[in-house]
Amino acid sequence: MYSKIAITGMIETVTGLHIGTGGEYSAIGAADSPVIRDSYEGRPMIPGSSFKGKLRTLLARDMAESYKEIATSCDNDCSEIISLFGSSAKAGRKNGPGKLIFSDMFMNKESINELSTLGINTPTEIKFENTINRLSAVANPRQIERAIRGCRFDMSVIYEVREKEDILHDFEMLTRGLKLMKYDYLGGHGSRGYGRVKFCGLNAECVIGNDDGELDEILDKCSELLKDVCE
């Protein structure tokens, strides 16, 4: 049975969120560490790759027997995680895509309008950070750009159904990862208070297949699991 389930909702920043541009290039006079932006609208975004990578890492930590047992490579993750997120080619094992497809996440239109109503013209802020050498007492100030708290991003993840019997278990794993992220952080500088997020309005809907309605009961259970993440 080939079907696809769309998982939709929103991610809201609880504290400032910094996901950098990779090279951390900044123009003269700009922040030392700018956030990645949607080139079309110029607003901060959450890359699907960043969200996927953090979710996978949290699940790998959660399923490891001890902190020392956490796999150093994604290819060494347990089979359940590989089934959801995929693996690369490796000797003696076939590579394959995971069941989950993560989209880039852009700012919700209503969120943009709400910020504008509050007189906030830009959804980012500059946070001044400072490291001080303990021996020389020399300061090294840096300016880090981050999306302000209260920004909401439209979330879209596609789950590919391969075996109907696996759906509920896979959603239990996925929602476990989302709950872990609520109490961890997304992006950089999490130990200094950045990157706390929460989830709003999560829902599961079959968008391909299920013409006979045989997935309806399972989808109801999946939606309940997602709703529990939002509480």
Query: How do residues 22-81 score in pLDDT, each as one tens digit?
Result: 655 555 445 668 999 999 999 999 999 999 999 999 999 888 766 666 656 666 678 888
Determine if residue 121 is left, alpha or beta; phi over 0 gives left, psi from -120 to 50 gives alpha, anything else beta: alpha
**pTM for this prediction:** 0.86
> Is 190 in contact with 19 (CB distance < 8 Å)?
no
92-101, 104-113, 118-127, 130-139: which has the minimum mean pLDDT? 130-139
* pLDDT level of residue 134 (50, 70, 90 thresholds): confident
- pLDDT value, residue 141: 73
121 Cβ contact partners less than 8 Å away, ≥ 6 residues apart:
none
